[in-house]
Amino acid sequence: MTERTAPVPPPPGPAGSPEDPADLRVAVLGARGRMGSEAVQAVRRAEGLQLVAELGSEDSLEALVAAGAQVVVDLTVPSATEANVRFAVEHGIHAVVGTTGWDEESLDRLRALLERHPGTGVLIAPNFSIGAVLAMRFSALAARFFESVEIVELHHPDKVDAPSGTAARTAALVGRARREAGVAPSPDATQQDPHGARGAVVEDVHVHSVRLRGLVAHQETLLGGTGEQLTIRHDSFDRISFMTGVVLAVREVGSRPGLTHGLEGYLDLGL
């Protein structure tokens, strides 16, 4: 597994091409980060999108307004993302958010804000990779059929949060599916765990976080029944895996007012 850390130079083609007034004007927040720098390249490559601002932690959000951004992509840090999105919504800028750290309380605050700005759209996407979105959905689908379920997420060691947003979201979906089906919590006879070896518990689901050099973003949902196991695994080997979803979301968000949680809200999964 390889991790590309250096920003990729812009490819020849649309990057730097003259601005077309019909282009969607896009800004990236966190533009010098691992994901943000990849998103900058993806927006530059995408037909019909014009990159109008690349902002880092030192930059004022007012630059979004000055640049005439219509959509902002937030790929920053959990401590900054809510204020960034609030600013965007208050200025009528649609937001595509990949940053982790959103919980039920912050999502509720955002819903309330969006009610006062009914024309504005926000997507909070725990994961932009199509494979990861499907793995989450498959996990929720399978959850009620197995006695035991646990989640293992594995990431690069520079990640600042644990468990991953994707694992937390998967646990929420799995937990909800099991509760709705009346399935009991996974059996567990552990009586002593002085070192926390059983991991975090999110929505009644144990979640284990691995941080290892060489990894990018990986997850397994382990489902156990009598005499059998189903493993649903997804691997992002490169951040390019997130970019199809980022570009799709940028194109869609303006026509989806209100809050959408999860890229699957923009996809017809037929499930």
Annotated binding-site positions for NAD(+)? 30-35, 98-100, 125-128
Task: Look up tokens 């059998």; give the residue.
Answer: 228
Stretch that binds ligand NAI, among 12-20, 24-32, 133-141, 248-256 (CB under 6 A): 24-32
Q: How many CB atoms lie within 10 A of CB 38?
A: 22
- Using Cβ positions, the residue closest to ligand NAI within the complex turns out to be 33
Residues 6+ apart with CB under 8 A from 9: none
User: Shortest distance, CB of residue 224 to ligand LZUJQKHR, whole angstroms?
Assistant: 23
CA dihedral sign, ordered 262, 233, 168, 148: positive
Please name the residue that has the structure tokens 């690349």.
54
Class of residue 209 by CB neighbours under 10 A (exposed 0-12, middle 13-18, buried 19+): middle
Q: Is 195 noted as a catalytic residue in this protein?
A: no
Does residue 159 carry a catalytic annotation?
yes
> Could you give the 3-state DSSP secondary structure of residue 98?
coil
Q: In what order do the strands lie in the sheet with 121-124?
A: 49-55, 24-29, 71-74, 94-97, 121-124, 258-261
Look at residue 32 and give the partner it binds from ligand NAI, ligand LZUJQKHR, none, a contact being a CB closer than 5 to 8 Å depending on partner kind: ligand NAI
Binding of residue 139 to ligand LZUJQKHR (CB under 6 A): no
Quick check: 126 binds ligand LZUJQKHR (CB under 6 A)? yes
169 binding ligand NAI? (CB under 6 A): no
Choose among ligand LZUJQKHR, ligand NAI, none what residue 65 binds, the Cβ cut-off being 5 to 8 Å by kind: none
Rule CB under 6 A: say whether 127 interacts with ligand LZUJQKHR: yes
For the CB of residue 70, give the shortest distance to ligand NAI in the complex, in Å.
18
Maximum alpha-carbon separation in the chain: 66
Residues that bind ligand LZUJQKHR (CB under 6 A): 100, 126-127, 155, 159, 164-166, 217
